[in-house]
């Protein structure tokens, strides 16, 4: 739980201590008695913004702690994003909206709201002692005990009269009338007490509280993204491999592949770098250190005499051709994502124009990229400790700005963990201030805390360790970590079962069942997922030299893909993506795992927040053999109290004959479970998993509400 500086510390001022005596060190006003603590969400005391999604119901909670037994009240203050291009100081008044906090018990309070704009919001909690609510509670107790309350009623009349001075119009008049009635000594104490404790007066008083000694608000940031930050299906494709007869593909030939990709239900089309490729130290096929005359090189070796990061590889086409390709992709429901790799080849114009941006070795040569014992002589990294860092930062930011101006609003960033974190914090902050709909995917397979920090400084989504989590136990442990607060407040996972860099061992030897299983797991466990295709749907599984890397790797050579092959997984991909679109539960990352007596069966569920949709997935983690087992379902979690499904009825179904309907969205079969225990048998040769949409039993066995 993050604990921002409390209101007490704010009042004392930075670095000051509470005084031991005398006037030295006294706060400007020490009469405020409520401490606001443990605000959630709050990342590192407000140093970074928690993340939410447009039109999502957002809950803010905090502890409001005061001395004694007085009633405490508070409000959530909200400040909307500043208009594009404008600066709005985080701590400046006025706020745009206030929402009263509701007590949760044990000094915990919360309020919620729906974010109706993308961009940087700010919120704060302000709290005070509610003297009228304290009076009202005490008065009621004294009346119940038969005690004298004449003086108490006069105190109450003064509190109501003070509230009238803060009100206006009809409410001012109503409060003045109430104050007179409560203070009227000619009336009976019983009548006056009933007026003082009436719910109507309490509601009226709550709208005009005395905040003269309220805590000072501590403003915290909250970033609200468009929905695609939370829910997306990515497809990676090399446009240069769309040519026929071994010829280099173009944007025109790549456009011919768009209907095929759209038909599989993907919504983000990710292209590796599309820029000119260097010639010096160009790598050959299978990463050979020397290239032949026909070798095309790696797209991540950016820059030649034909241009750099703001240029198009001439064999792909022109900028106009790119614009047309992006427009065609959009017409097919595909949003284009571009790879930005902040590195250059020795031939990049930056090397000649700005040698000060690169590290020089004692022999005068520029330091190339290394990950010992690996050497990347064709890549020069930028020196983020160079003296000219300011001009370099501005130019690197301008790369993103160039492509944003051409309609690109999603970027996959290559190896961001090898670049300066302060740079990313500044760069993404500047870019999203002007273009809040822009999203950034961090390709960073690195240390967990570094991955998390990249998310904190601004990356919208992140690659994960999913690729290397094999067993059900490993997956459950990892998914629990990244889908629960505080990690889920800033880290959005994007699960990839393969990439051009990674052919994991579990895909190398088990054939179609392994590819089908990992597809289901990626798409069901994470609301964001992606595949490198057509290698994935065509189940490419031959490694290079026994390592987790493809032989004849498309990173270094052109490939020809038979995308219409009959054994392709494209039909399964289309079905999986349709299931994800049809079920809001799968568009979120909160996951519940259910116990099973067979550890080779992984059982988990998702449900729609504040909704009825619930999906249960049972996957066979053994891609070689059928597995059977009994699963215990957490029915209150699947159908929470308050949902129309009726949690209580479902819990009772453990002892009754009322079944739960399970509609398998892969096979279209329907089953009924008498209670919470399910018997499961899964054969990997037939299906990798059950994907059940759950429904409670209706009034009669013919009244089920089927959703197909």
Summarised one tens digit per residue, pLDDT across range 289-348 is 889 999 999 999 999 999 999 999 999 999 999 999 999 999 999 999 999 999 999 999
In a domain, 121, yes or no: yes
List C-alpha distances in Å: 677 to 612, 622, 660.
21, 22, 11
Residue with tokens 């427009």: 327
Hey, what are 622's tokens?
Answer: 């053994």
CA–CA separation, 94 and 79 (whole Å): 8
Is 701 a member of any domain? no
In the chain, the percentage of residues whose pLDDT exceeds 70 is 91
| CA atoms of 470 and 541, how far apart (whole Å) | 17
Residues 563 and 659 in one domain: no
pLDDT band of 87, cuts 50, 70, 90: low
Q: What is the pLDDT of residue 520?
A: 98
Residue 643 dihedral angles phi and psi, to the nearest 5°? -75, 155
Q: Are strands 220-225 and 50-53 parallel, antiparallel or unpaired?
A: parallel
pLDDT at 20 over 60: no
Instruction: Please say whether the beta carbons of 616 and 662 come within 8 A.
Output: yes
Q: Same structural domain for residues 531 and 643?
A: no
The pLDDT score that the predictor gives to residue 697 is 60
pLDDT of residue 633: 87
- At which of 521, 552, 586 does a domain end? 586
Looking at residue 216, what DSSP letter applies? P
User: In the structure, what pLDDT confidence band is assigned to residue 13 with cuts at 50, 70 and 90?
Assistant: very low
Task: Examine the domain organization and report whether 56 and 194 are in the same domain.
Answer: yes
Q: Is 289 helix (H, G, I), strand (E, B) or coil?
A: coil
DSSP state, residue 302: B
- Specify whether 133 is located in the same domain as 238: no
* 524 and 619 housed in the same domain: no
pLDDT, average across residues 58-82: 96
Rounded Cα gap, residues 522 and 617, in angstroms: 12
Interior CA angle at 485 toward 483 and 489, to 5°?
A: 85
Q: What is the pLDDT of residues 589-607, one digit of tens each?
A: 999 999 999 999 999 999 9
Residue 705 lies in a domain: no
pLDDT value at residue 684 = 96
Q: Label each residue of 522-565 as H, E or C.
A: HHHHCCEEEEECCCCCCCCCCECCCCCCECCCCCCCCCCCCCCC
CA atoms of 78 and 101, how far apart (whole Å): 13
- Where in the sequence numbering do the catalytic residues fall? 414, 443
CB-based contact 32:24 (threshold 8 Å): no
- What is the rounded end-to-end Cα distance, in angstroms, of the chain? 41
Average pLDDT over residues 482-492: 97
Assess contact for 456 and 48: CB atoms under 8 A. yes
Judge whether 301 and 282 are in contact, CB under 8 Å: yes
Closest C-alpha to 528, from 496, 482, 564: 496
Residue indicated by tokens 């940031």: 221
134 and 274 co-located in one domain: no
What per-residue confidence (pLDDT) applies to 103?
97
Tell which residue, 346, 370, 381, 375, has the closest CA to residue 287: 375
Indicate the residue among 198, 224, 250 that finishes a domain.
224
Once rounded to an integer, what is the mean pLDDT over residues 276-287? 95
Q: Is 667:599 a contact under the CB 8 Å cutoff? A: no
Average pLDDT over residues 215-238: 97
8 A C-beta contact, residue 406 and residue 399: no
| pLDDT beyond 90 at 546 | no
Q: Which stretch of DSSP H or E encloses residue 111?
A: strand 108-114
Strands 410-414 and 335-340: parallel
- Spatial CB neighbours of 395, under 8 Å, sequence gap ≥ 6: 350, 354
Q: What is the pLDDT of residue 649?
A: 32
Q: How confident is the model at residue 91 (pLDDT cuts 50, 70, 90)?
A: low
Give yes or no: residues 171 and 262 share one domain. Answer: no
Over the stretch 352-409, which tens digit does the pLDDT of each residue have? 999 999 999 999 999 999 888 888 889 999 999 999 999 999 999 999 999 999 999 9
Residue 207 CA to residue 178 CA, distance in Å, equals 15
The answer to whether 342 touches 304, Cβ cutoff 8 Å, is no
Q: Is residue 122 part of a domain?
A: yes
What is the mean pLDDT of the segment spanning 447-464? 98
* Long-range Cβ pairs for the range 371-379 (8 Å, 24+): 377/281, 377/289, 378/278, 378/280, 378/281, 378/282, 378/283, 378/297, 378/298, 378/301, 378/345, 378/346, 379/300, 379/301, 379/343, 379/344, 379/345
Tokens standing for residue 250: 């173009």
Q: Is 708 inside any structural domain?
A: no
Cα–Cα–Cα angle for 644, 648, 650, rounded to 5 degrees: 80
* Cβ burial, residue 429 (10 Å; 0-12/13-18/19+): middle
Find where tokens 């988990």 sit.
604
| 600 burial level (CB within 10 Å; 0-12, 13-18, 19+) | middle
The pLDDT tens digits for 619-662 are 999 999 999 999 998 877 777 754 433 333 333 334 444 578 89
Q: Could you tell me which residue, 637 or 482, shows the higher pLDDT? A: 482
- 499 touches 548 (CB < 8 A): no
Q: Over the chain, what is the mean pLDDT?
A: 91
Final residue in a domain of this structure, among 586, 604, 635: 586
What was the pLDDT predicted at 658? Answer: 54
For residue 534, whether the previous peptide bond is cis, meaning omega lies within 30 degrees of 0, is: yes
Phi and psi, residue 487, nearest 5° = -60, -40
pLDDT of res. 645: 34
CB atoms within 10 A of CB 510: 18
Per DSSP, helices labelled H in 59-168 are: 131-144, 150-166
Total domains in the fold of the chain: 3
> How far apart (Å, rounded) are the C-alpha atoms in residues 63 and 105?
10
Q: Which two tokens stand for residue 612?
A: 């009825």
Same domain, 157 and 263: no
Per-residue pLDDT, 434: 95
Per the listing, tokens 């909670």 go with 61
pLDDT digits (tens, 9 = 90+) for 670-697: 988 877 889 999 999 999 999 999 987 6
For residue 641, the model assigns a pLDDT of 56
DSSP state letter for 503: -
Evaluate if residue 85 carries a pLDDT over 80.
no
> Strand pairing of 461-462 and 439-443?
parallel
pLDDT at 86: 67
1: in domain: no
519 and 626 together in one domain: no
Rounded CA separation 315/46 (Å): 48
Residue 698 pLDDT > 60: no
Give domain status of residue 323, yes or no. Answer: yes
Instruction: Return the HEC string of 309-371.
Output: CCCCCCCCCCHHHHHHHHHHHHHCCCEEEEEECCEECCCCHHHHHCHHHCCECCCCCECCEEE
Q: Determine the pLDDT at residue 674.
A: 73
Q: Are strands 660-664 and 369-371 parallel, antiparallel or unpaired?
A: unpaired
Phi and psi at 495, nearest 5°, equal: -90, 125
Are 506 and 470 a contacting pair, CB within 8 Å?
A: yes
Sorting pLDDT into bands at 50, 70 and 90, what band is 88?
A: low
Structure-block tokens of residue 625: 């053999």
pLDDT confidence of residue 12:
34
Please check whether residues 359 and 332 belong to one and the same domain: yes
Do residues 141 and 281 share a domain?
no
Q: Is the pLDDT confidence value at 107 over 90?
A: yes
Q: Are 380 and 280 in contact (CB under 8 A)?
A: no
Please give the pLDDT value at position 652: 36
641 or 136: whose pLDDT is higher? Answer: 136
| Domain assignment of residue 2, yes or no | no
684 lies in which domain range? Answer: 590-696
For residues 519 and 619, membership in a common domain is answered with no
Question: Could you tell me which residue, 376 or 614, shows the higher pLDDT?
Answer: 614
More confident residue, 86 or 286: 286
CATH number at 665 reads 2.60.40.1180
What CATH number is attached to the domain comprising 516? 3.20.20.80
Per-residue pLDDT band at 109 (split at 50, 70, 90):
very high
* CATH number, position 50: 2.60.40.10
């Amino acid at each position: 739980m993050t604990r921002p500086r409390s209101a007490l510390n704010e009042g004392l001022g930075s670095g000051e201590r509470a005084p031991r005596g005398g006037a030295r060190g006294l706060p400007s006003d020490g009469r405020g008695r409520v401490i606001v603590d443990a605000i959630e969400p709050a990342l590192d005391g407000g140093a970074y913004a928690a993340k939410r999604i447009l039109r999502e119901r957002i809950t803010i909670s905090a502890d409001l702690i005061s001395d004694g037994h007085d009633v405490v009240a508070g409000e959530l203050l909200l400040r909307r994003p500043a208009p594009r291009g404008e600066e709005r100081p985080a701590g400046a008044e006025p706020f745009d909206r206030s929402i009263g906090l509701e007590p949760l018990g044990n000094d915990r309070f919360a309020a919620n709201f729906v974010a109706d704009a993308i961009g940087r919001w700010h919120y704060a909690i302000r709290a005070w002692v509610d003297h009228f609510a304290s009076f009202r509670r005490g008065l009621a107790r004294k009346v119940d005990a038969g005690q004298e309350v004449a003086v108490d009623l006069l105190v109450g009349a003064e509190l109501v009269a003070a509230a009238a001075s803060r009100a206006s119009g009809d409410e001012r008049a109503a409060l003045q009338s109430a104050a007179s009635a409560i203070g009227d000594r000619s009336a009976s104490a019983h009548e006056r007490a009933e007026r003082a404790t009436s719910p109507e007066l309490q509601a009226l008083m709550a709208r005009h509280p005395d905040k003269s000694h309220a805590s000072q608000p501590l403003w915290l940031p909250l970033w609200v993204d468009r929905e695609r930050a939370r829910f997306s299906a990515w497809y990676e494709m090399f446009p240069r491999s769309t040519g026929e007869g071994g010829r280099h593909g173009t944007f025109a030939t790549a456009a011919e592949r768009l209907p095929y990709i759209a038909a599989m239900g993907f919504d983000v089309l990710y292209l590796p770098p599309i820029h000119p490729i260097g010639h010096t130290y160009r790598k050959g096929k299978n990463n050979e250190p020397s290239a032949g005359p026909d070798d095309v090189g790696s797209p991540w070796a950016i820059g030649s005499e034909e241009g750099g990061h703001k240029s198009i590889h001439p064999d792909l086409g022109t900028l106009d051709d790119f614009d047309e390709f992006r427009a065609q992709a959009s017409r097919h429901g595909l949003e284009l994502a571009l790879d930005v790799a902040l590195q250059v080849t020795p031939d990049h114009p930056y090397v000649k124009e700005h040698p000060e941006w690169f590290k020089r070795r004692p022999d005068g040569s520029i330091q190339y990229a290394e990950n010992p014992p690996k050497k990347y002589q064709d890549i020069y990294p930028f020196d983020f400790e160079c003296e000219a860092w300011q001009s370099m930062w501005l130019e690197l930011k301008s790369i993103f700005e160039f492509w944003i101006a051409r309609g690109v609003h999603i970027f996959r960033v290559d190896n961001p963990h090898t670049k300066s974190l302060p740079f990313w914090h500044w760069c993404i902050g500047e870019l999203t201030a002007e273009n809040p709909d822009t999203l950034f995917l961090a390709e960073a397979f690195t240390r967990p805390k570094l991955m998390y920090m990249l998310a904190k400084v601004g990356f919208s989504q992140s690659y994960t360790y999913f690729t290397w989590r094999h067993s059900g136990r490993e997956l459950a442990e990892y998914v629990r970590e990244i889908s629960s607060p505080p990690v889920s407040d800033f880290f959005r996972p994007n699960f990839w079962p393969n990439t051009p860099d990674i052919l994991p061992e579990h895909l190398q030897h088990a054939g179609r069942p392994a590819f089908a299983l990992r597809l289901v797991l990626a798409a069901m466990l994470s609301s964001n997922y992606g595949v490198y295709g057509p290698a994935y749907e065509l189940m490419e599984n031959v490694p290079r030299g026994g390592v987790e890397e493809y032989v004849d790797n498309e990173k270094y050579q052109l490939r020809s893909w038979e995308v219409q092959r009959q054994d392709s997984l494209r039909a399964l991909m289309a079905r999986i993506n349709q299931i994800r679109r049809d079920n809001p539960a799968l568009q979120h990352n909160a996951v519940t795992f259910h116990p099973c007596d067979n550890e080779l069966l992984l059982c988990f569920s998702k449900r729609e927040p504040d909704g009825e949709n619930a999906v249960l997935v049972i996957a066979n983690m053994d891609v070689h053999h059928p597995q059977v087992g009994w699963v215990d379902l957490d029915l209150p979690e699947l159908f929470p109290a308050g949902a129309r499904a009726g949690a209580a009825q479902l819990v009772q179904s453990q002892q009754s004959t009322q079944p739960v309907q399970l509609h398998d969205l892969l096979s279209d079969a329907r089953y009924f479970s008498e209670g919470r225990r399910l018997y499961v048998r899964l054969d990997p040769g037939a299906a990798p998993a059950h994907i059940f949409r759950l429904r409670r039993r209706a009034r009669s066995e013919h009244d089920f509400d089927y959703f197909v």
